[in-house]
Structure formats: C-alpha cells, structure tokens
Copies of this chain bind each other. A is one copy, B any other.
Amino acid sequence: MSKSLRRRGKRSQSISEPKSEFGELATKDVPDSPRQPQKIPSYGTKKCHESRNSLFSSKSGFVAYRGFLNLCVILLAVSNARMFLENVLKYGILVDPFQWLSTVMDNPYQWPNVILMLCSNVFILAAFYIEIAIARGRVSSSHGSILHVLNIILVVLIPPVQVLMLEPDPIGSLFSCGTYAIVFMKLWSYAHTNSWYREEYIKTSNQNKKLRRTSSLPSRDLEKLKNKQIEVKYPYNLTVKNLYYFMFAPTLCYELNYPRTERIRKSFLFRRLIEVLFLLQLELALCQQWIVPTLQKAIVPIHQLDATRMLERLLRLSIPNHFMWLIFFYWFFHSVLNVLAEVLRFADREFYRDWWNSETIVYFWKAWNIPVHKFCTRHVYKPLLTRGYSKFTAQLIVFLLSAFFHEYLVSVPLHVFKLWAFMGMVGQLPLAALTDWMSKRFSPHYGNMLVWTSLIIGQPMAVLAYVYYYYVLRFGGVSDEIQF
C-alpha cells in the first residue's frame, strides 16, 4: 500500500509541475494514430497540440483511479451525516442512557437470568470432580467420559428449559444462553485436553517406572508449585483455581500452561476499560435512536408483504445494523477480551485475524472469531481427521455444529424456532464456493466485496425476520402502537 502510494504520488507530482513550454508535454505512444505530429521548425514554439488518447479510452492504458476510492469514503461520511441529521429531525433525541438501568432495577428480586448464570458453577464443579475422580482412579476413563458428556449435555439443555418455563426477558436470556454455550465449549475442552494429558502421563510413567502415585494427589506440593509459576504438569493442574482461571480466561481451549505477561499494564487496561464503557453506551444509543424506529416502521410492510417497501426497509436497516455489528466486534473481541486478558495476565491476544481483508467466506469464518475457530479445529476437526473421517466430512460437521449454536443463541431467547439462523449458516457453503471462484477468476477485491455484501445484507434479513415473528407471536398480530 505504502509503496503504491509513493509511486502514485511521484507520478502525479511530475504531472502537476508547471510545464515551461507546451511543446515539452510528455509524448505518449498512441497506437491508433500512427501519424506522429510533424515538426514545424519555424513555428515550433507556439505548438500546443499532440496526438493523444483521452484517459478514459481503453487504449490510453491509464489505470490510476485511486482518487475515486477517497471519493467513496467522503460520500459515505456525507450521506451518513445527512441520515443522522434527518433521523434527529424526525424522531428527536431518543437516546436514554439509563433505560437499561431502570429495566434491570425494575424488579431486582426476580433476575431469572442472573440466577441461571450463577447456576453454571454447578456444572463447572461437576466437571472438576469428575476429572478428579478419573485421576484418582475411582472412575474408569471411559465411564468418566460418559459422565462428562452427560454433564455438558445438561449445560446446553438447561437454558431452553428455563426460558420455556419462566419466559424471561429476551436480552437477559441472550446473555445466559451465551454464557452456557461458552461453558459448554470450555468444559468440553477441559475434559478432552485432560484426557490427552492423562494418556501422555500414563505412557511416560509406564516408561520411566518411577512415578507410582498415579492415583493419589499430593495436594500440598501442588499448592507450592502453583504459586511459584513453575510449569504445571498433569495431574498437578487439577485444582479449582486452575479450572476457574481457565473459565475466565479469554480462550475456549484448555492448556496446562498459558503464555503469561509479566505485569498488568495499567494504561492499556484503562484505555480498554474506557472503550468497553463508551462503546457499550454507543451501541445502546445507536439501537435506541436508529435501529428501533427503523424496525418499528418495517413491521407493517412485512405484514402487508409489500416487496418494494420491505426492500427499502431492509436496506435502511442494513447500514445501522452493520455499524452496530462492527462496533460490537471491536467492543467484544478487542476491548472486552483484552480487559479480561490483561487482568488475568493472559498473553495470547489473538482474538481475531484480518477478516476485513477476507477474499473468501471460508477465510472470514476462520479469522473473525479465533477462540471459537481454535476450539473447533482442536476439539472437533482434528479429532475427526485422526479417526479417519475425510476433510470434507470433518468440515461439514464443524459447520453444522456452528450452525446449531447460532440457531441456539437466537431461537432460545426469542422463542422463535424457525431454523433461519441454521439455514443462514448452511447457506454459507454455496457462498464459500462463489467467493472462492470470484477471487480466483476475477480479482481478490471482488471476493472481498462479496464477503462484505453478504455480511451487510444477510444479517439484517435475519434480524427483520426474527423481530417480525417475535412481534407476531408476542402481540398476536400487528398492533396500532407500532404502526407509527
């Protein structure tokens, strides 16, 4: 980029320099007019025309249109400034920073989702004691695995049951479902990784014939070792503290020893904390000021199946929705996870790669959410490969699992079991083939643009569909109140 910039800068400078004489203007090869301008010796100094093509003609060979990209940026800024002004003029200031506080405080003794989230500790401790039991030889390895599987199946089943029984607030439910999905993956990783360590440990101890205490834990020595930050080895890692460090750490993959930072950088932490608070408030403001009025106006066209208005609403929603998604991405994957990592002195900060440059959908899915991608590769894709499944089958299973969790996080909080999120994920497969073909056949930029388009248009389609069904289910039809 910087190289091309310098090249362009130099070229344009050489053009923009004032010419001392028109006759000195750079002569270009003009293939379509072979008759070169002839020299007129006596009046040469007054000559000012030369055989040349216009730049836009394909024969000119001119390709430097970088300035038009800058135009796009400016036009985008101008049109969004206008939309912001129009919105404020139409609806006034709808932002109320304390609305969420009043919603939460409304009934402080009935927080079903907070209680649910606290309940997740039961399953975490259950996983811990299963692991201890296996390590001490009280349960066989295969029985322990069955117990682990039962435990994590309960983890994903609890939130739907709670939602169906108590019908709590959908936003609170989203948080508790998200928490349970994370706990599910973390406990899976904990059980899976410990089983690897156990196998290694047994193999090593059989070889060395030195360690005989396979089935007993020297708990006092363990504490000492832990405090000194010496490398932990199995089974000394099986402590509640070690498990809870993993539960809070910004990763879904359990490991004996994580890379750690030397100290907590206070200024870094402070900046990230400010971001967490400011961006959260900004998301709320965007939602109140921009998304909610747009969504409310969209219900009626969907109900009347007015295709043109539906499309207009979809496009209108797509831009604030996309901004919210971008801010959410930065907020969660950069600010929140870095705060967590800084506090826990967790040194692996690769929470995302450069998905914004994705030329294919496959790269996007690999790059935007590294914790989940790592988990899927380490605990699903590779184990399937080692069991003899083909690459394609393994990839498909990862995709279907991912699709299931997308559906889970939308359907359960909203009570709308329509499989749209699942189908949306399955729809990524043909899209992946298309972006791959476009990037290879044409330019990587076209593939990248298609990835962006699918993000910008795909998400609001799903949002509109789910919100519409939520309203219909909730109010049994379109009420007058939301007809603006």
- Chain A interface (Cβ within 8 Å of chain B)? 1-5, 7-9, 12, 15-16, 18-19, 22, 30, 32-38, 40, 42-43, 46-57, 62-76, 78-83, 85-86, 88-89, 193, 196-197, 200, 204, 231, 234, 251, 253, 255-262, 265, 308-309, 311-312, 315-316, 318-319, 322, 330, 333-334, 337-338, 347-354, 356-360, 362-363, 366-367, 374, 377-378, 443-445, 448-449, 452-453, 456-457
Contacts and interface: CB of A to CB of B under 8 A. Distances in A.
Given A76-B72, A360-B16, A63 B2 contact: yes
A1 B75 contact: no
Contact of A318 (B78, B259, B330, B360): B78
Given A64-B357, A260-B35, A261-B33, A89 B308 contact: yes
B322 A75 contact: yes
Contact of A52 (B18, B49, B350): B350
A313 to B, nearest CB: 9
B48 A253 contact: yes
A97 B453 CA distance: 34
Given A33-B259, A65-B356, A70-B452, 17 more contacts: A3-B7, A4-B4, A9-B359, A22-B377, A37-B259, A46-B193, A48-B253, A48-B378, A49-B253, A64-B354, A67-B354, A67-B356, A79-B319, A81-B315, A82-B315, A82-B316, A85-B312
A309 B89 contact: yes
A367 B71 CA distance: 17
Contacts of A265: 32
A456 B359 CA distance: 32
A38 B48 CA distance: 72
A32 B259 CA distance: 13
Contacts of A56: 330, 334
Nearest to A77: B453
A378 B49 CA distance: 12
Contacts of A234: 43
A70 to B, nearest CB: 5
A262 to B, nearest CB: 6
Contacts of A377: 19, 22
Question: What does DSSP make chain A's interface, helix, strand, loop or mixed?
Answer: helix
A38 B255 CA distance: 13
5 contacts: A8-B357, A15-B367, A48-B374, A62-B354, A85-B312
A421 B67 CA distance: 26
A259 to B, nearest CB: 4
A57 B34 CA distance: 56
Closest 3 CB pairs of A and B: A82-B315, A67-B356, A51-B347
Contacts of A256: 40, 43
Contacts of A359: 9, 12, 16
Nearest to A375: B48
A63 B50 CA distance: 43
B55 A354 contact: yes
A262 B34 contact: yes
A294 B454 CA distance: 32
Nearest to A311: B85
Contacts of A2: 63
Which of A5, A9, A444 has its CB near the most chain B CB atoms (within 10 A)? A444
Contacts of A57: 334, 338, 349
Contact of A354 (B15, B81, B333, B358): B15
B231 A32 contact: no
Nearest to A85: B312
A299 B333 CA distance: 47
Contacts of A18: 366
Contacts of A30: 347
A55 B16 contact: no
A54 B350 contact: yes
B356 A74 contact: no
A455 to B, nearest CB: 9
Contact of A448 (B53, B70, B75, B193): B70
Given A69-B72, A73-B72, A352 B445 contact: no
